[in-house]
Amino acid sequence: MGFGKEASIYLLYLCMLFTEIIGQEPIKNHLQKSAINGRIPHAQLFIGKEGSGTLPMAIAYAQFLLCNSSVNSEACHLKCNNLQHPDLHFAFPVTTTDAVKKHAVSNLFLKDWRTFIKEQPYGSLFNWLQQIGVENKQGNIGVAEAEEVVKKLQLKSYEGGFKVMIIWMAEKMNLEAANKLLKLIEEPPNKTVFILVTENEEQIINTIKSRCQALNFPVLSEQDIISNLVSREKISKNEATKIAQQAEGNYNKAIHLLHHDASDLIFEEWFIAWIRTAFKAKGNASVVQQLIAWSDTIAKTGRETQKRFLDYCLQFFRQALLLNYTSESLVFLETKTAFDLSKFAPFVHSGNILEIETALNDAVYHIERNGNAKIILLDLSMKLTRFLHKKEESL
């Protein structure tokens, strides 16, 4: 599955597309060189955290493959740029909406998908669910989607070259869908390439993973985020630096911080109400009822919102810890309410931070696996009442 004699011309053209992707130079070089040399695995797994560029890289790589084998490269690039190439296929998590009442599959959401990729190429699953107006639901890739994938890839290539199937958030495939695709991924039709994009490879069944060549994407460097915020968003280097320090290698988070998503204020209000109530709840049955009511309120939001909120809480606790240990230069959190982080900081210390982090991460884990959110959040709240009253051990 190598490139033809005019590969160098196409490489020059397509490199311009790869340069639009932030950082990840070793992976860009690997994908281009291996394709030029004819080493194109039929199934690849792009593994990376949110905001690391796995999806933009998959699309750039797909365009690289498709347009090299096209007799009309200009038309091919135009189709790929608009995500309308007949040999470029997508599968991604969906769910029923006001517009799609049943049998939700990716094809019914392509208009929204193209808008999403154009506006938020580094976007998260939560951003995608917001795009289709169902952020309080969980998207998944079900057996109906798997059947659509099989039908698409059984057809001959429209342009006689490669067919590329990008499965975004592949960990959202349920077991039935994964088993349906297993044989096709193991033995795809000629010149068919699967690119599975995931943030959590552990949630993909081993029989799928073992048939894919894995590429691990590191988080982006602060410098990569700074330079791109300055060039793309037209902000000062100082502002970009401050954002990059908070972004933790996640370009999607950097854009979110730049535009001050309103959810941060809501999350802060939830967090403050939570810790104040948890602090008062120890030995006070009437206040415990308030924690139950709080848990019920958060449980009524979607699971993706719950996970984002718990990630926000984790960051808040870590910032308080840094402030407690006089590492002010590393504290970037700026509260939007009258809450005084310096007064809260002494309650987060070496004697409880590991337990707090473990409890929060466990809650995220169980929410991801469709646990009862109200029970999970209440259990977390009761643990927090103990952790906040725990004394720091003397050295």
| Strands 213-216 vs 43-47: parallel, antiparallel or unpaired | parallel
> Residue 169 is which amino acid?
M
pLDDT (0 to 100) of residue 166: 96
DSSP string, 45-96: EEE--TTSSHHHHHHHHHHHHHHHT-S-HHHHHHHHHTT--TTEEEE--B--
With beta carbons less than 8 A apart as the criterion, state whether 35 and 3 touch: yes
Give dist(CA 204, CA 185) in Å, integer: 13
Q: Which of 75, 107, 73, 112 is nearest to 90 (CA)?
A: 107
Q: Rounded to 5 degrees, what are φ and ψ at 153?
A: -85, -10
Give the pLDDT confidence score for residue 288 in this predicted structure: 84
Nearest to 215, CA basis, from 7, 27, 3: 27
Cα distances (Å, whole numbers) of residue 78 to 12, 60, 63, 120: 16, 13, 10, 19
**Rounded Cα gap, residues 218 and 235, in angstroms:** 25
- 8 A C-beta contact, residue 254 and residue 243: yes
CB 145 within 8 A of CB 152: no
Q: What is the pLDDT of residue 13?
A: 38
Question: pLDDT truncated to tens, each residue of the chain (395 aa)?
Answer: 544 444 443 343 344 477 789 999 999 999 988 888 888 899 999 999 999 999 999 999 998 888 876 667 778 888 888 888 898 999 999 998 888 888 889 999 999 999 999 889 999 998 899 889 887 778 899 999 999 999 999 888 887 788 999 999 999 999 999 999 998 998 888 889 999 999 999 999 999 999 999 999 999 999 999 999 999 888 888 888 888 888 889 999 899 888 766 567 888 899 999 999 988 877 677 788 888 999 999 998 878 788 888 988 998 898 899 888 887 777 777 777 888 888 888 999 988 999 999 999 999 989 888 889 999 999 999 999 989 888 877 65
Residue 263 pLDDT: 65
3-state secondary structure 346-374: HHCCCCCHHHHHHHHHHHHHHHHCCCCHH
Query: Which of 122, 115, 117, 113 is CA-nearest to residue 252?
Result: 122
Alpha-carbon distance of 160 to 211, in angstroms, equals 25
Residue with tokens 């297993």: 182
**Beta carbons of 141 and 181 less than 8 angstroms apart:** no
Answer yes or no: pTM beyond 0.85. no
7-218 and 263-388, same CATH topology: no
| Record: fold of 263-388 | Zinc Finger, Delta Prime; domain 3 (1.20.272)
How remote is the C-alpha of 31 from its chain's centroid? 22
Angle, helix 54-68 to helix 7-18, in steps of 10 degrees: 160
E-assigned strands of the chain? 43-47, 88-91, 163-168, 192-198, 213-216
What are the strands of the beta sheet with 163-168, ordered from one edge?
88-91, 163-168, 192-198, 43-47, 213-216
Q: Is 102 exposed, middle or buried (0-12, 13-18, 19+ CB in 10 A)?
A: exposed
The CATH number of domain 7-218, selected from 3.40.50.300, 3.40.190.10, 3.40.50.2300, 3.30.465.10: 3.40.50.300
Which tokens belong to 86? 């007949």
For the chain, the domains span 7-218, 219-261, 263-388
Of the candidates 63, 168, 171, the residue with the CA atom closest to the CA atom of residue 122: 168
